[in-house]
Amino acid sequence: MQTVHSIADLRAALAGRGRPAFVPTMGNLHAGHLSLVRQATGLGDVTVASIFVNRLQFLPHEDFDSYPRTLQRDAELLQAAGCDVLFAPREADLYPEPQTFKVQPDPRLADLLEGHFRPGFFTGVCTVVLKLLHCVFAGSPGAAVFGAKDYQQLMVVRAMVRQFALPVDIVAGATCRADDGLALSSRNGYLGAGERAQAVQLHAALQALAQAALAPGADLATLEAQALDALRAQGWQPDYLTVRRRADLQPPASLQAGTLVALGAARLGGTRLIDNLEF
């Protein structure tokens, strides 16, 4: 595996190597990321991963400074997973000057859920993802894999790629879970031992909400309020626990199995976790 830092070196490393398959990450890799990389190896001729902690998608009070940076270990894991090229730009490679031109995603998709609780988050995500896609693909077609754990991010990126007519297939990677059901996340490392044991309660809350939503005569607003109260009673501070249409993340007019997704974000101690469940 070749590691490159500048955009010029990335393009040189990819020249003449065929169709890229790409996995963007912020590093501190876990088994979920590595499953996306293995998925990507079947989607192109050359597998590329990026590691870049993107300051544009962090709010001032969030964990940009403390976000774990583990490049050496990540590089070893990527190589073992079949990655051919690691693009690890420095801040000055990707943002050589302040990034004053930004992607403004459709507010109907990007200002709800995560975007409501983290204003500007999807502007930061879309701005860096558009730049990364441009660096990797530069006009030649290929595929990029995004984890389904970040469900809304996957939808926002898909819509951006469609609207900018980028020649990239956005492929979903299934969420990897620990044995107890907790979705793997780089931020799980912030959890203390007691919190880690408790953390699966978010997934369990989504399962219970989804099951209750499909019961005859279910009243979604009541169920969502009950789910929030139940999580609070277990010591969480939830941002949202909700059932939406898979198609556009809007509240569903009818509760039809196979068209819905339960999404949740909640803080346990100082750690904010998100998860979702299609049903």
* In the complex, least distance from residue 27 CB atom to ligand PAF, rounded to whole angstroms: 9
Binding residue (CB under 6 A) for ligand PAF from 84, 114, 150, 224: 150
Q: Which is nearer to ligand PAF, 202 or 243 (CB)?
A: 202
Q: Report the SS3 class of residue 218.
A: coil
Amino acid identity, position 109: L
Residue 185 contacts ligand PAF per CB under 6 A: no
Determine which residue in the list 10, 49, 125, 231 makes contact with ligand PAF, applying CB under 6 A: 125
Q: Measure Cα distances from 12 to 16, 56, 274 in Å.
A: 9, 27, 37
Distance of closest approach, residue 95 Cβ to ligand PAF, in angstroms = 12
- Nearest partner of 273 among 126, 114, 99, 78, judged by Cα: 114
In the set 5, 33, 61, 134, the catalytic residue is: 33
Distance CA 108, CA 169 (A): 23
Question: Is 61 labeled as ligand-binding?
Answer: no
Which candidate, 6, 122, 130, 25, places its Cα nearest to that of 69? 25
Side-chain-side CA neighbours of 264 within 13 Å: the count stands at 33
Specify the stretch interacting with ligand PAF by CB under 6 A; choose among 24-32, 106-114, 135-143, 200-208.
24-32
Shortest distance, position 255 Cβ to ligand PAF, whole Å: 29
- 173 binding ligand PAF? (CB under 6 A): no
Over the window 75 to 114, marking each residue x when it contacts ligand PAF by CB under 6 A and - when it does not, the resulting string is ----------------------------------------
Q: Does 24 bind ligand PAF (CB under 6 A)?
A: yes
Q: Which of 14, 110, 129, 168 forms a contact with ligand PAF (CB under 6 A)?
A: 129
Q: Can you name the residues that pair with 242 across neighbouring β-strands? A: 263
How many residues touch ligand PAF under the rule CB under 6 A: the total is 10
Check if 5 is active-site.
no
Q: How do strand 260-268 and strand 237-245 relate by DSSP bridges?
A: antiparallel
111 to each of 33, 115, 124, how far by Cα in Å?
A: 26, 4, 13
Residue 147 in 3-state DSSP?
A: strand
Give the range of 70-78, 86-94, 108-116, 122-130 binding ligand PAF by CB under 6 A. 122-130
The Cα–Cα gap between 143 and 242 comes to 31
CB of 103 to ligand PAF, least distance (A): 12
The reply, when asked if residue 202 is annotated as ligand binding, is no
Question: Considering only residues 7, 22, 25, 173, which one is a binding residue for ligand PAF as defined by CB under 6 A?
Answer: 25
Residues 6+ apart with CB under 8 A from 196: 182, 188
Give the residue carrying structure tokens 């990655």. Answer: 83
Collect all residues with Cβ–Cβ distance below 8 Å to 81 and sequence separation of at least 6. Answer: 34, 37, 38, 41
Catalytically active residues, by annotation:
33
Catalog residues that contact ligand PAF under the rule CB under 6 A. Answer: 24-26, 54, 57, 125, 128-129, 150, 153
Binding site members for ATP: 26-33, 147-150, 184-187
